[in-house]
Amino acid sequence: MELAQEIDNTAVSVDAKATDKHIPGEAGVWVLVLGDAFVFVLLFVSFLAYRSQALALYSDSQNQLNMHLGAVNTLLLLASSWFVVTALHALRRELQRLAMRLFQLAWLSGFGFGVVKVIEYSEKFEQGITPLTNSFFMFYFVLTGIHFIHLLIGLGVLAFMMSVLKRSKPGERRLATLESGATYWHLVDLLWIVLFPLLYLVR
Amino acid sequence: MMRDLLLTRTSLVWLLLMSATAVSWYMSTLPTVDVVIGGSSMILLIAFFKVRLVVVHFMEAGHAPAILRFTSEIAIAVACLLVLAFYHYGSQLVAAGFPVS
């Protein structure tokens, strides 16, 4: 009810921040994103190079992955990213309470990804599959493990963003901080967008 | 007012991303899709198309200065080409000297 009132009381004007040409967040975060993505691309091509040397092994190993859990995780991260970007739109319209709710939903979606990943890892260990099983599973655990660390950091970043939203005053500085956090969170999403088809889907 | 916040280009992009994921998910379950339309290449292309949508619309590179937007677009295109090249010609690239132990 309060949320609806907050929304109704807000004049929706043309969002100047969204239409201005500006770097979202701090420029340094973009350097981090590009550098991180570069390392992942190197890992992707290494995976494909090793795969080309043992296609049958990689295909058999891939069949042991649970594709459906991977797909559910993709949907969770995409939903989480949408919550974050919509939260920023809400903030630019000074809908602070709604933005907080959306950040909370984003955090929960990200947490859901983590839970599904733990279930998936447990399944593998129960089947006796470890990083030492073969080179496919070495890549599987290393790539998804590094991504999982990114996710944990991202959940911390989202929690920090909620704390910033709660404690600091509205303004350019706060928006830039939140945009920086959002940029990092989207990195977690886009890395998974490539990892998922590469490991689970591509035949 | 809530409608103004939800009925945005970003939401449309999100629906497109979810749909593209569903299409890739479905395509990978078709046993003969590789032979018929090069399904795996298509799945990889869809993945990088999704990456571009996230970078331009969610990370707001589309509203960023041209240098950031073009750097991002070029980086995505190069990454896509590299991944497709190694997917199709991995063994030739290894034979040409790409290191694998």
> Count of domains in chain B?
1
Does the residue B66 lie in any domain?
A: yes
**pLDDT of A16 higher than 80:** no
Residues of B in contact with A85 (CB under 8 A): 10, 57-58, 60
Q: Which residues of A165-178 are buried (b: 16+ CB within 10 A; e: fewer)?
A: beeeeeeeebbbbb
Contact A20, B63 (CB under 8 A): yes
What residues make up the domain containing B13?
A: 2-95
Average pLDDT over residues A154-161: 97
Weakest-pLDDT range from A5-19, A83-97, B11-25, B77-91: A5-19
B100, part of any domain:
no
Q: Is residue B52, in this structure, part of any structural domain at all?
A: yes
**Rounded CA separation B12/A18 (Å):** 17
Closest-approach residue (CA) in chain B for A203: B40
pLDDT at A15: 47
Q: What is the mean pLDDT of residues B3-21?
A: 86
The CATH architecture to which A24-201 belongs is Up-down Bundle (1.20)
pLDDT in tens, A109-123: 999 999 999 999 999
What amino acid is encoded at A161 in this protein? M
The domain locations on chain A are: 24-201
Q: Is residue B101 part of a domain?
A: no
Q: Looking at the predicted structure, is the pLDDT value of residue A176 above 80?
A: yes
Q: How far is B77 from chain A (nearest CA, A)?
A: 12
- Taking 80 as the threshold, does the pLDDT of residue B101 lie above it? no
Q: What is the mean pLDDT of chain A?
A: 90
Element (H, E) at A183: helix A172-196
Mutate which of A45, A62, A72, A180 to disrupt the B interface (most B C-beta within 10 Å)?
A45
* Residue contacts between A and B (CB atoms, under 8 Å): 155
Mean of the per-residue pLDDT values of chain B: 86
How far, in Å, CA of B65 to CA of B47, rounded? Answer: 25
Q: Is residue B48 part of a domain?
A: yes
Is the pLDDT assigned to residue A17 strictly greater than 70? Answer: no
**Nearest C-alpha in A relative to B41:** A202
Taking residues A21-31, what's their average pLDDT?
Answer: 87
pLDDT beyond 80 at B45: yes
Q: In the prediction, which pLDDT does A19 show?
A: 52
Predicted confidence band at A10 (pLDDT cuts at 50, 70, 90)? very low
A89 vs B contacts (CB less than 8 Å): 5, 8, 10
| Nearest alpha-carbon partner for A119 in A68, A49, A190 | A68
pLDDT confidence of B24, banded at 50, 70, 90?
confident
Inter-chain touch B40–A203, beta carbons under 8 Å: yes
| Whether residue B91 has pLDDT greater than 80 | yes
Q: Which residues of B touch A90 (CB under 8 A)?
A: 5
Q: Kindly indicate the confidence band of residue B55, based on its pLDDT and cuts at 50, 70 and 90.
A: very high
What is the ipTM, given to two decimal places?
0.89
Residue B89 lies in a domain: yes
